[in-house]
Amino acid sequence: QVQLVESGGGLVQPGGSLRLSCTGSGIIFTNYVMGWYRQAPGKQRELVAHISRGGNTYYANSVKGRFTISSGNAKNTVFLQMNSLKPEDTAVYYCNTRPLGIFGWGKGTLVTVSS
């Protein structure tokens, strides 16, 4: 059974950085387009970034220039480096495929940006 586990979230001040990790069991990420999604309180889940099997990347306008998605050396890891964090980046962050619907959601990792 495929499991997605996100980690690396926490409380950070505005302007700070965090690096999120996603590890999958029972899945080889390089077989899919892998994305990072987030859901802020009271809002719908949204795509933040994705990385294709060939390494091409996509970023939402709201994070472009601040976030970087990358694949790990292991075929079942993907990272999200988040710099210059803003309070509006506060959300639970999840990884999953793009498009959705192949695997279920992990528990996510909470990122809180606050002074």
Query: What is the per-residue pLDDT across 44-92, written as a single tens digit (0 to 9) for each?
Result: 999 999 999 889 999 999 999 999 999 988 889 999 999 999 999 999 9
Ordered DSSP codes for the chain? --EEEEE--EEE-TT--EEEEEEEES--GGGS-EEEEEE-TTS--EEEEEE-TTS-EEE-TTTTTTEEEEE-SSTTEEEEEE-S--GGG-EEEEEEESSSSSS-----EEEEE--
pLDDT at 27: 86
Pick 28 or 105 by higher pLDDT: 105
Asked whether 82 and 20 are in contact (CB, 8 A), the reply is: yes
Question: Tens of pLDDT along 13-49?
Answer: 999 999 999 999 988 888 899 999 999 999 999 999 9
Compute the distance between CA of residue 34 and CA of residue 78 in angstroms, rounded to an integer: 8
pLDDT at 58: 97
